[in-house]
Chain A
Amino acid sequence: MSAVFDNLDVFLGGFWLTLQLCFLSAIGALFVGTIVAVMRISPVPPLRAIGTAYVTVFRNIPLTIVFFFSAFGLPALGSNADFLRIPVVDTIFSRMGIDLPYFRFAIIALSLYTGAFVCEALRSGINAVPAGQAEAARAIGLTFGQNLRHVVLPQAWKAAVVPLGSVIIAMIKNSALAGFFGVVGDLSNSGYALITVNGEPTIPIMIGISLGFLIMTVPLGVLLDRIEKRRAVAR
């Protein structure tokens, strides 16, 4: 394992970039997923159809393909995803603001793909709220938006948080693909470069990459278990 300890700075740098990628993509996925979920339960049939189509497409094609279209399709359409160069945010996460767009493309691919799963996790939470709650809210005159904001979503959230956590854990692991679509210096890409460029032994480096991901995913899993236990007691 000396191959790992000798290159600890490379691993740390890769870990840090992957953490940034996952954090930003999780925000993107929650944003996309919430919008699609609201569309899927809205009283407007065309919105429902769009939401359903979105989930059908992005839940059922391989993530590699989504990455491919994001990294090669967007430039072909003349986009560098410059809308993600958000002021202030791009100074904290410096990769968001650079000219090379592949970090931004990776955020888009992960957000769009994971958004479909976030939508379904949220919807399962919404379905767990008894229909009478929304009915009572309508009966006192709350609009659809108020009903969601004040009655349905606060209760749906509790039922959705554990499945949402599983979706985010899956997304963290999926982020390993980013290094193969132009992102330089994330955990998997850095490790892979150590093997191919520096000629480090494969197996220890792969174990090192695994450990890096476990440091992100295991604590998240433990946190979810805690939340679930607390809910079980509250019931």
Chain B
Amino acid sequence: MTGEALIVLDNVNKYFGPLHVLQDVTLSVDRGEVVVVIGPSGSGKSTLCRAINRLEPINSGTITFDGQELPAEGRALARLRSEVGMVFQSFNLFAHKTILQNVMLGPVKVRREKSAAVRERAMSLLERVGIANQAEKYPAQLSGGQQQRVAIARALAMQPKAMLFDEPTSALDPEMVGEVLDVMTSLARDGMTMVVVTHEMGFARHAANRVVFMADGQLVEQARPEEFFANPRSDRAKDFLSKILTH
């Protein structure tokens, strides 16, 4: 962490019809920082995560990435998105392309890099997430945990400045959660800037620099993980933690 802000949300508001899903959300994420966003479902954490690369446009407020305000739809936005990796709950690997093609598509088409160089980088990324031997298979032939690790490799292939994780383990069978969290933990250790929406409290405890707790569209409190889990200040957070930590 350098103390230099990479992602800044300032007074962000977002409505789905009459529903006020993000209410005056202000949040700043430093370069190299790992921020874990937790909270009950429907609290707006996924929307917050998706707003950062404008998959959800916001109604008011500003979002700044690397000193530049998010542009409107168009080439400038596409360029910005190419610098922000995103991992989805439902993996969303391109179903008609092989694992290797999935990882190579962005660098080849968006960055116009040479295919041979990209292939080498893609293979070493697949190696890193432990799926190099499946490179020629199609997504449907892989388990959920493997698909999600490919999705992480696909995002990393763009050499992003930050990574967004939108509930990356929520759609996985329990025995596959660990393999995905391991990859994420190693990324965090390597200094990647990460915003992670998750229900994995273990990951929040050991990998996060900061925990952000959201409820009903509001950012209720934020603190270092050891402090937050031992000593939540708000009643809403105490209530939430008492419900999930008693089991």
Interface string of A129-167 (1 = CB under 8 A from B): 010110111111111001000110011000000000000
State whether B92 touches A132 (Cβ < 8 A).
Answer: yes
B40 at the interface (CB under 8 A from A): no
Q: Nearest chain A CB to B125's CB is how many angstroms away?
A: 13
Q: Nearest chain B CB to A41's CB is how many angstroms away?
A: 14
Q: Nearest chain A CB to B226's CB is how many angstroms away?
A: 32
State whether A139 touches B94 (Cβ < 8 A).
Answer: no
Write out the residue numbers on chain B whose beta carbons fall within 8 Å of the beta carbon of A135. Answer: 55, 88, 92
Closest A residue to B110 by beta carbon equals A141
Complex Cα–Cα for A132 and B171 (A): 14
> In the complex where A43-B73, A132-B92 touch, is A139 in contact with B55 (Cβ < 8 A)?
yes
State whether B95 touches A150 (Cβ < 8 A).
Answer: no
State whether A142 touches B110 (Cβ < 8 A).
Answer: yes
State whether B109 touches A150 (Cβ < 8 A).
Answer: yes
B residues apposed to A, CB below 8 Å: 53, 55, 73, 75, 78-86, 88, 90, 92-96, 105-106, 109-110, 151, 154-155, 158
Chain A binding surface, main DSSP class: helix
Interface string of A149-190 (1 = CB under 8 A from B): 011001100000000000000000000000000000000000
Write out the residue numbers on chain B whose beta carbons fall within 8 Å of the beta carbon of A154. Answer: 96
Q: Which of A142, A143, A146, A155 is in CB contact (< 8 Å) with B95?
A: A155
State whether B90 touches A140 (Cβ < 8 A).
Answer: no
Q: Nearest chain A CB to B155's CB is how many angstroms away?
A: 7
Closest 4 CB pairs of A and B: A141-B82, A136-B92, A140-B106, A132-B92
State whether B109 touches A142 (Cβ < 8 A).
Answer: yes
Q: Nearest chain A CB to B168's CB is how many angstroms away?
A: 13
